[in-house]
Amino acid sequence: VLGMNPEDGKQVVEAEVPQMELYGYCTQLRSMTGGSGTFSYEFARYEQCPSEVQDREVAARAAKVAAGETEE
């Protein structure tokens, strides 16, 4: 979290979050705020992901290839 600022009677939270973590966030935010919360985002930069995330994604892809579940 980079900051929290009041704006027009609402609380604005500014943060940097990996894009992968945004999946499903809109639904979570609406649940947490009783449907009144909104969010927007903009791309900031590329960064190398942690090695454990790389390992997990490579293993998941290998499992799909082995099962014949690829689009290739």
Integer-rounded Cα Rg, in Å, for the chain is 17
For the chain, give the number of residues: 72
Token digits for 63?
Answer: 């499992």
Token digits for 33?
Answer: 């705020």
pLDDT per residue, tens digit, the chain (72 aa), is: 999 999 998 899 999 999 888 999 999 999 999 999 999 999 999 999 899 999 999 999 999 999 988 775
